[in-house]
Structure 1
Amino acid sequence: MGAVGLTDMLAGPRLGFLPLLTLGPTFASVSGGVRRTVLVGALALAICLPLSAYSGVLFNRQNNLTIATITAVTGASMLAAHLRIRRERELANVRMVAETAQHVLLRPVPRRAGDLRIALSYTSAAAEARIGGDLYEVVTTPQGVRLLIGDVQGKGLQAVETAAWTLGAFREAAYDEPDLPGIGDRLENSLARHLGGERFVTAILAQVHEEEISLLNFGHPPPLIMRSDGRILLAEPEEEIPPLGLVSLGPAVPAPYRVPFGTGDQILLYTDGVIEARDASGAFYPLLDRAGVLGGSDPQAALEELRADLLDHVGGPLQDDAAMLLLRRHSRPPARDGAGITR
């Protein structure tokens, strides 16, 4: 507004730059509150009136229209600022509810469980979203550490609702059922009651044993095994099992398969948003080739490095949600007796 006033004073009354003073209250309504907008509008009038008198046009027809325009724009900007602030407060409340839902639906996983170190990475494809159609869970039960990672068909709130049903059923069944097929049956029965049409969930159920890990794969991408000696391989299922919600179309009794999982080994469970991510030329993300970055001493830092490499490959936001769960097996700490002596 100072630049407008100086330009008008130098140019004289013939060009008439004073109507541009309305830019002041207009921009004030974008970043400030109602009070600030009023003060900027009053400042615009305080600049306009002396300059009009200086130019000898005060209270003529054109100048009266300029004063009325500044006053009207200030009033409209006050209303716009009021509505913007109200919308911002509503958005803040919605975000607070969304964050609460995130903590309930996708709880933080434990970073340690027995001789396991666990790392997690979750990236939602939806702008500003914290949760989407991918799901994960890690629970420590009397039977051992049990895990779930899955991907709901579709996107949006409907996918989030399906993910909530799946996670709720798993959290109950993981403690009650003696084996992975029993958990799978509970998930299938729960989803059959709530899913409609041809909706389904691809998922992997896992349970960690002494020197092995059991996997029950329901149409999900196979986990990546990284041996302590540097070998990398995919833990392919022995037989194809349809996704949850469509299990009745497959074998009568889905059977888990066991994979060696000893000290120093790692297993990466992930959703198809990782391996189906494309670069500008349409090439898929080469997970097998890039898995070497997971060799760092800190599993979480290594997984974050892999996530950064994935985003760099895409060169922008992901087109699908991407969840990654990394388990690394360490040697068990030595047991101590009641006197604190290592045995």
Structure 2
Amino acid sequence: MSAQGALRWLPFGVMAAVAVTDVLAGPSLGFLPLLTLGPSFASVSGGVQRTAMVGLVALALCIPLAAYNGLLLRWQNNLTIVTIVTIVGVTGVGMLAGHLRLRRERELADVRLVAEAAQRVLLRPVPRRAADLQVALSYTSAAAEARIGGDLYEVVTTPHGVRLLIGDVQGKGLEAVETAAWVLGAFREAAYDEPELEEVSARLEASLARHLGGEKFVTAILAEVRDGEILLLNHGHPPPLHLGADGRAAAVEPAEAGLPLGLGPLASGRPKAHQVSFRGGDRILLFTDGVIEARDDGGAFYPLSERVHLLRSEDPQDALDALRADLVRHTGGPLPDDAAMLLLHRQT
């Protein structure tokens, strides 16, 4: 039985246990007040009607138990009256609490649907082929109880070559989605307009400076595919994983670490892009921190470097799907944070 199912039956189980205990203990001991546990528990997981029904069941049990204990007609002993009044009062309060809880849950569900719809509009499908590249994408949403995340990605073919963006907005919820919208909008424009990747970065920084407040930021990697190489500009993001056609694999650490987007004024200068060999048969995996920060039941992080062999499948999308499935198996269920991955394969 699921946890939700157990909660639904808990009020009836508690009242049944109280009734059995009262009968077995005999008339000398009275457990009538414990019947109020039924409607109390019902208000936690049930609605208004269910809580009212549990309250009626509690009252129905109270009368014969009071008779069994010899209290039904002994009105000078007010235990029965107090119990009945308490059951009615707890049931009424529980019905009100259940109504308010359900209304709040509906409001939260509506907000989540709006945020998820906004994410689907922002994170439009990326092209599966761009120039001589094959592009594979995996986006794994967080657990249902987690808030909406701010992972973002984009692949565009421009006059300056194929350019890519992958990033992670600090924070959660609609505010993170709004920030992701600013970043993606600025990137889509700047990627076409600016001849240098550093200038694309400067445009993103300027855009976020107008819209971000406080100490909010966005970690990101900007990339530009060139002949025989790929240019990477890292803004405080987890380094991508380079898989050579010769079988070697290594994390691509930037020569000069850059601050996340939004924290540019704190830096002494602009971050510099660095070149990485990217020839026919090579692959590069770009990902957000939801991948490497996923933990198993023992608290161990996902060992991405030990799963490189999963990315060697002939079809890049099949390879990325296998890695995603392994990631979910590692956590034993839904991920606690969104996880976005882009796998680029350069055709020979």
Q: Which moved more, 1:221-230 or 1:62-71?
A: 221-230
Pair 1:86–1:155, CA change in 2 (3 A): closer
- Report how many residues are paired: 324
Q: What amino acid maps onto 1:93 in structure 2?
A: D
Deviation at 1:197, TM superposition (A): 6.6
Amino acid of the residue matched to residue 116 of structure 1? Q
State the 1:83 CA deviation: 1.6
1:214–1:256 CA contact under 8 A, matched in 2 = yes
Is there any run of 5+ residues in structure 1 with no aligned partner, and where? 332-343
Could you tell me the TM-score, scaled by structure 1's length? 0.75
Is the 1:135–1:323 Cα contact (8 Å) retained in structure 2?
A: yes
State whether structure 2 residue 34 is matched by structure 1 residue 20.
yes
Deviation per CA, 1:261-318: give whole Å up to 9, x if none.
31x3211123456567799999986644442332234132233156348758xx9977
Q: Cα deviation per residue 1:59-80 (whole Å; 9 max; x = unaligned)? A: 4222222221222222122112
Distance 1:56 1:34, change over 3 A: same
The corresponding residue for 1:81 is 98
Match of 1:65 in 2: 82
Partner residue in 2 for 1:52: 66
Q: What is the CA distance between 1:209 and its match in structure 2?
A: 4.3
Q: Distance in 1 between matches of 2:302 and 2:209?
A: 34
Does residue 304 in structure 1 map to residue 324 in structure 2? yes
Q: 1:38 to 1:231 in 2, by over 3 A?
A: same
- Alignment partner, residue 257 of structure 1: 275
Q: Aligned letter for 1:76?
A: V
* Compared CA separation, residues 71 and 151, structure 1 to 2 (3 A): closer
Q: Does 1:224 align with 2:235?
A: no
Rounded to whole Å, the distance in 2 between the matches of 1:77 and 1:200 is: 43
Go from structure 1 to structure 2 and tell me whether the alpha carbon gap of 1:20 and 1:290 turns closer, same or farther (over 3 Å shift): same
Which residue pairs with 1:120 in the alignment? 138
Aligned partner letter, 2:137: A
Q: What is the TM-score with the length of structure 2 in the denominator?
A: 0.74
Give the C-alpha shift of residue 147 in structure 1: 0.6
Question: Alpha-carbon deviation of 1:185?
Answer: 3.4
Q: Secondary structure at the match of 1:88?
A: helix
> What is aligned with 1:146?
163
- 1:22 CA displacement: 1.6
Instruction: Return the alpha-carbon distance in structure 2 between the equivalents of residues 125 and 56 of structure 1.
Output: 53
User: Over the residues paired in the alignment, what is the CA RMSD in angstroms?
Assistant: 3.9
The aligned runs of 1:1-343 (5 Å cut-off) are: 1-59=15-73, 60=75, 61-113=78-130, 115-121=133-139, 128-132=146-150, 134-141=151-158, 143-152=160-169, 154-156=170-172, 161-195=178-212, 201-209=218-226, 211-218=228-235, 220-235=237-252, 244=261, 246=264, 249-250=268-269, 254=272, 257=275, 259-262=277-280, 264-271=281-288, 287-297=304-314, 298-305=318-325, 307-308=327-328, 311=331, 323-330=340-347
SS in 1 for 2:72: coil
- Would the alpha carbon gap of residues 310 and 110 (structure 1) be closer, same or farther in structure 2, given more than 3 Å must change? farther
Cα distance in 2, alignment partners of residues 51 and 277 from structure 1: 53
